[in-house]
Structure 1
Amino acid sequence: MALDIRAGRPWPALLDLPWSTPLEEWPENILAALPRGISRHVVRFVRIEGRIIAIKEIKEDIARREYEMLRALRRLDQPCVEAVGVVAGRTDDKGNPLDACLLTRHLQFSLPYRAMLSQSLRPDTADRLIDALAVLLVRLHLVGFWWGDVSLSNTLFKRNAGEFAAYLVDAETGELREKLSKGQRDHDLDIARVNIAGELMDLQAGGFVPMEVDPLSVSDLILSRYDDLWAALTEDESFEMGQRWKVEEHIRHLNDLGFDIGELDITTDFDGTHVSIQPKIVDAGHHARRLLRLTGLAVEDNQARRLLNDLDAFTASQDRQNDDEQLVAHDWLSRIYEPITRTVPPAMRKKLEPAEIFHEILEHRWYMAERAQQDISIENAARDYVDHVLPNKPDEASVVGVDTQELPVRAE
């Protein structure tokens, strides 16, 4: 049987990989040492032409379906891993058939939840992961994607200015429809609640989550966080005719949540004394898009919000509120952001993304100023952060924490 490689772009280096060997037996010298999450299938990371791809061994029909699903979600601008290709027609040296392989591009600076929780992080880390997963699930449901296997294990997380951003990493069971019913959305939430509770119980058994944490209570958070966000984005709001300012207030609230409104449906009642508004088209990434337009920086939305706040502070400090916004943003980028992020030595640049480092330096400056009871320059804060804080951070662009495959797994 001939090897069949389907890829989104020409990638001759794929031919050099040992496809005739079961993935579990691939030699260590071609593998990348990255933390792995729990998976029903064999998964390995490989370096190819300076990039890292994840390879999952799976049945051919499932691999091709998931490949197409991930590509469809990317076209809809949903946060998920990038599908690279499918390799089918594999046989071993004796001619016995081997499963196909799904190839996805590794999401740099992302981590599975087990690696996140295995580090010495804040006590509310699990809650913040749930928040990120709720946002991801709402975004997917808004475009009609039913996940079917919502869990922390099927998600990757990136730091996002003190919070987390969640990315779908496994679309094996997903279905893309024109619109989801409430029953379909509730089904996904029920799956999420059960899976999250089990995953946290596993980590408790391994000593990575304190025993005083109640996995059931934490898993229930997905329901309330999801419901609050879904209501804010989809339900209409009514107010009296003389309170039109509430329209802008509603829009600003959605922007604060990181969403843009493409269209509003505004209706009045029969006597014209009350107005109802409902967002019709809602896109995520409000702050990220604005920052990208002004500076060319592509970052997570919460990071973008923090950077835009610093840009606003820079604008005020220079008394340039009436200047062209893009010119001011260019000056901030060249005089503040780029010089500060360049203070990080090359050997430490794999620890965090530049935008996250800049956010942490801003946080560090605030704490330094509070202790000193006086203003601290961002240059001094950056030097102190690089000298005393950053060296203790793990390298999140490469290998982090424990091998999560070795943590206990709950029996089904």
Structure 2
Amino acid sequence: MSGTAQRLQITAANPDPALLDLPWHIPLEDWPAENLAALPRGISRHVVRFARLSGRVIAIKEIGESVAYREYELLRQLRKIDVPSVEPVGVITGRRAPDGEPLEAVLITQHLSFSLPYRALFSQSLRPDTATRLIDALAVLMVRLHLAGFYWGDVSLSNTLFRRDAETFAAYLVDAETGDLHDRLSVGQRSYDLEVARVNIIGELMDLQAGEFLDEHEDAIAIGDALAERYQELWQALTEVESFGYGERWRVQARIDRLNNLGFDVGELDITTDLEGTSVRIQPKVVDAGHHSRRLMRLTGLDVQENQARRLLNDLDEFRAATDRQAEDESFVAHDWLTEVFEPAVRRVPRELRTKLEPAQVYHELLDHRWYLSQQHHRDVPMTEVVKSYVNNILPTRPDEQAVLGTRAEDLRDGDAASGSRAGDYDPDQLIG
């Protein structure tokens, strides 16, 4: 057995004693089903398993000891600078089988709730532009990483997790094994990272086509090229130096507004004029993502994805106008919207269905459903009626994105089952009727 026959070394900021109850004396690929959480996994060069621990789910990856410690520290640094990535839990070394055979070290990370690997997002029921939306999310993640000075080294869809963010996705780094953190990246480092991403993604999409998960008519090369184009557009918008005439100072605010619309905050601007004072040069100095999510957090305390926040803020603005309270303090109106509109709608979802989607995503879909029902019935449909229709007709068909997605724990040893069941997408045709 385990325990006393081993001399485990656990490195963790907040070690959980329950870690000692897991079968570390068994190679990870042979762990019994009762220790596993049935979640879809992406493709990995290492053995990866999910396990339940003290009411939460952890991801465990067998990996070399030195690499495990290095990745653990990198993930900790990324979390400190607020880069979207998985949360490191710890590293365990000193594992041995009952016969004394050494076993590889493991890196433990917190499972990202409501997240999915890209393979689990593809099915014939998905919208044709799903690949494009994933690419857009990955481009935003790459820009954020590069702005923070992180060189990934092996950018791919496989090394990324995706969470739904209104009609788009938000991307999270899940594998930092080949990464490195610098004060600032060179153009060459960024270009190489981008080229690796392009080549890897083209290969992954072609693999999906071979497995009939992606329409054969989709141009994988064009989608890979689109990543590079989207990245360059976003990088330029966030970092380029802009020059304009001295009489066009309104363009300073226009530049800030444009960055805010992209979901980024500008903490500081570098503004200089030429010797004659006839032209002005402006460049963002501190650019942070999450403009709308931070505003919503400040007003309501809701911690949601960026595009979800944008949608909820729009609904808040509509509530403010409908109640004729534009002259009131925004925070007071936001409190009433939260307690009178958002929370009652979310609470009407039965408890057994609440693990399907995040509350903010549920509310976003309720807004979509209200629009479709109103179009169908040619009237404003009240939210109580909307929730009832959504709960009866839409939500039960959605995959459970917090926990099990239909994958049997005993199948997790099989390579083909690593992707789990494939999640469906939001089909407007389901909303009417």
Partner of 2:264: 259
Please give the residue correspondences for 1:383-394 in structure 2 after superposition, counting only pairs within 5 Å.
383-394=388-399
Counting aligned pairs with the same residue, the percent is 62
Q: Does residue 67 of structure 2 align to residue 62 of structure 1?
A: yes
The answer to whether the Cα contact below 8 Å between 2:41 and 2:418 also exists between their aligned partners in 1 is no
Shift in Å, 1:50: 0.3
- Distance across 2 between alignment mates of 1:119 and 1:304: 29
The answer to whether the Cα contact below 8 Å between 1:36 and 1:405 also exists between their aligned partners in 2 is no
- Distance across 1 between alignment mates of 2:177 and 2:185: 18
Please give the residue correspondences for 1:255-404 in structure 2 after superposition, counting only pairs within 5 Å.
255-400=260-405
Shift in Å, 1:373: 2.6
Shift in Å, 1:323: 1.2
Partner of 1:42: 47
Q: Does residue 203 of structure 2 align to residue 193 of structure 1?
A: no
2:30 pairs with one of 21, 25, 33: 25
Shift in Å, 1:226: 0.2
- Compare 382-391 and 173-182 and name the one that shifted more: 382-391
Could you list the structure 1 runs, at least 4 aligned residues long, displaced by more than 3 angstroms after superposition: 401-405
The answer to whether the Cα contact below 8 Å between 1:146 and 1:176 also exists between their aligned partners in 2 is yes
- Distance across 2 between alignment mates of 1:352 and 1:215: 29
- Distance across 1 between alignment mates of 2:249 and 2:211: 55
- Compare 248-257 and 267-276 and name the one that shifted more: 267-276
Q: Does residue 145 of structure 2 align to residue 140 of structure 1?
A: yes
C-alpha change, 1:119 and 1:5, in structure 2 (3 Å) is farther
Please give the residue correspondences for 1:148-187 in structure 2 after superposition, counting only pairs within 5 Å.
148-187=153-192
The answer to whether the Cα contact below 8 Å between 1:291 and 1:308 also exists between their aligned partners in 2 is yes
Give me the CA root mean square deviation: 1.5
Q: Of the two structures, which has the highest relative contact order with CA contacts closer than 8 Å and spacing of 6 or more?
A: 2
- Compare 118-127 and 69-78 and name the one that shifted more: 118-127
Q: Which secondary structure state, in structure 1, belongs to the residue aligned with residue 122 of structure 2?
A: helix
1:96 pairs with one of 101, 115, 139: 101
- TM (norm. structure 1) is 0.97
Q: Which secondary structure state, in structure 2, belongs to the residue aligned with residue 54 of structure 1?
A: strand
2:416 pairs with one of 382, 385, 406: 406
Partner of 2:422: none
1:105 pairs with one of 105, 110, 113: 110
- Distance across 2 between alignment mates of 1:338 and 1:203: 40
Q: Does residue 226 of structure 2 align to residue 221 of structure 1?
A: yes
Residues 174-232 of structure 1: CA deviation (Å, up to 9, x unaligned): 00001001110000001000100111111111110011001111111110000000000
Q: Does residue 88 of structure 2 align to residue 78 of structure 1?
A: no
Give the AA of the match of 1:203: L
Partner of 1:13: 18
2:251 pairs with one of 233, 246, 249: 246
Q: Which secondary structure state, in structure 2, belongs to the residue aligned with residue 339 of structure 1?
A: helix
- Distance across 1 between alignment mates of 2:13 and 2:122: 34
Give the AA of the match of 1:352: L
- Distance across 1 between alignment mates of 2:166 and 2:209: 27
Gaps of 5+ in 2: 1-5, 420-433
Gaps of 5+ in 1: none
- TM (norm. structure 2) is 0.92
1:116 pairs with one of 121, 124, 141: 121
